Chain A
Amino acid sequence: ETGVTQTPRHLVMGMTNKKSLKCEQHLGHNAMYWYKQSAKKPLELMFVYNFKEQTENNSVPSRFSPECPNSSHLFLHLHTLQPEDSALYLCASSPKSVGGLSITNEKLFFGSGTQLSVL
């Protein structure tokens, strides 16, 4: 497999459920991200892991919990979500090569996304 793979593609869950999104990158990249994409809104950065360490958390509610066991895998654990959390959740990776040209470090490679519906 190549690129960034994300599962599941679609998820419907109730507000009391607990579920997890999974992401795996096969590009040898050092950084992984979770983005949220809602209709008519720009992509919103949720979490960043750089060399497995969480470096940014953009004031995301605690009902979203990320986990990065290694530089190739990223999870987003979901619990007690709200209907307004329904959106497309995108995983991405980037090179983040130490000493590399800055702009190259920020090129994002996205997974296919999980379309989440919260009932």
Chain B
Amino acid sequence: QKEVEQNSGPLSVPEGAIASLNCTYSDRGSQSFFWYRQYSGKSPELIMFIYSNGDKEDGRFTAQLNKASQYVSLLIRDSQPSDSATYLCAGYSGGGADGLTFGKGTHLIIQP
């Protein structure tokens, strides 16, 4: 069974520091990965996706993928209180929507 594992947290990070969110996956057939941000009471919003080994940067966000270790991470630089949310990791192994597996999410708190 395909699984995407995340530490549920809460992960508490001081404002201005780097927040590091981690995700591991069981399906070696997973081709690409998505990070969604979900504010309390709101719907998930896509912030990053990655499909190649290495780093992908977009503003304050960096996604990292290591397929050999089956490990994905999201780094948030210069963390702001507005980054406080639950971050969902999802792995895609092809075959349409059924190939998208979500983790339970990590609750991130940025302390002012």
Binding site for B on A (CB under 8 A): 31, 33, 40-43, 45, 48, 50, 55-56, 58, 90, 94, 102-103, 106-113
Q: Is the CB of A103 within 8 A of B32?
A: yes
Partner of B100, one of A40, A106, A111: A106
Number of A-B contacts (CB under 8 A): 62
B12-36 interface (Cβ within 8 A of A): 31-32, 34, 36
Binding site for A on B (CB under 8 A): 4, 8, 31-32, 34, 36, 42-46, 49, 51, 88, 90, 92, 94, 96-105
Partner of A45, one of B8, B44, B51, B100: B100
Give me the 7 closest cross-chain CB pairs, A-B, nearest first: A110-B43, A43-B102, A42-B102, A48-B97, A103-B32, A113-B43, A42-B104
CA distance A87 to B4 in the complex (A): 21
Q: Is the CB of A45 within 8 A of B97?
A: yes
Q: Is the CB of A41 within 8 A of B104?
A: yes
CA distance A53 to B90 in the complex (A): 24
Q: Is the CB of A106 within 8 A of B42?
A: no
CA distance A102 to B31 in the complex (A): 10
Q: Is the CB of A109 within 8 A of B46?
A: yes
With a cutoff of 8 Å between Cβ atoms, the chain B residues found around residue A55 in the complex are 96-97
With a cutoff of 8 Å between Cβ atoms, the chain B residues found around residue A109 in the complex are 46
> Provided the pairs A102-B31, A110-B43, A113-B43 are in contact, do residues A40 and B98 lie with their beta carbons within 8 angstroms?
no
